[in-house]
């Protein structure tokens, strides 16, 4: 009987690990522990302001799902990025199609120099918040692990507050 209990325990552990592993694999089948962020919540503050509340992921980063020109895009908030930056494939899903020659704006990143293309998103929706005519940089997929929500996007909100585990964006 003890042998069976151990077998059941190992089997249960394997199923749990498989489930957790599936949650951390991205669309290309690569391991990505930041894959499943907590969903943003939307609140109304005491003065009637609308709030987007993001909970930090296990690594301390803030992620959210937005709709860029209607296409669902997963963003990581990056206060070190001057611009909202889309991967080439995310930009394409948002209807932004660029030629190789468009990638001529040099950016210095933590990974070195990368050439980006400038573009404009007609709209970016985060819940019921709408940002219109947002300047973005587009970077080849192999130079960026995912799309970033940079300072020019954060500055479109009336107020923002960050604690260790929450980011609140307010629209009055």
Q: Name, in order, each residue with C-beta under 8 angstroms of 137's C-beta and a sequence gap of 6 or more.
A: 83, 84, 85, 86, 105, 107, 116, 117, 118, 119
What pLDDT, on the 0 to 100 scale, is given for residue 40?
Answer: 77
What pLDDT, on the 0 to 100 scale, is given for residue 130?
Answer: 93
Averages of pLDDT over each 10 residues, the chain, 172 residues: 44 35 46 57 79 89 94 94 95 96 89 92 92 96 92 95 91 78
């Amino acid at each position: 009987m003890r042998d069976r209990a151990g077998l059941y325990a190992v089997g249960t552990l394997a199923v749990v690990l498989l489930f957790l592993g599936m949650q951390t694999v991205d669309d290309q089948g690569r391991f990505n522990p930041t894959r499943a962020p907590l969903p943003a919540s939307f609140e109304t503050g005491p003065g009637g302001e609308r709030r987007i509340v993001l909970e930090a992921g296990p690594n301390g980063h803030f992620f959210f799902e937005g709709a860029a020109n209607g296409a669902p895009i997963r963003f990581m908030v990056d206060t070190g990025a001057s611009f909202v930056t889309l991967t080439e494939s995310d930009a394409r899903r948002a209807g932004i199609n660029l030629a190789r020659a468009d990638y001529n704006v040099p950016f210095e990143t933590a990974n070195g120099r990368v050439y980006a293309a400038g573009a404009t998103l007609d709209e970016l929706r985060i819940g019921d918040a709408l940002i219109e005519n947002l300047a973005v940089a587009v970077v080849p997929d192999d130079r960026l692990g995912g799309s970033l929500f940079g300072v020019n996007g954060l500055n479109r909100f009336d107020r923002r507050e960050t604690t260790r585990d929450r980011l609140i964006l307010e629209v009055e």
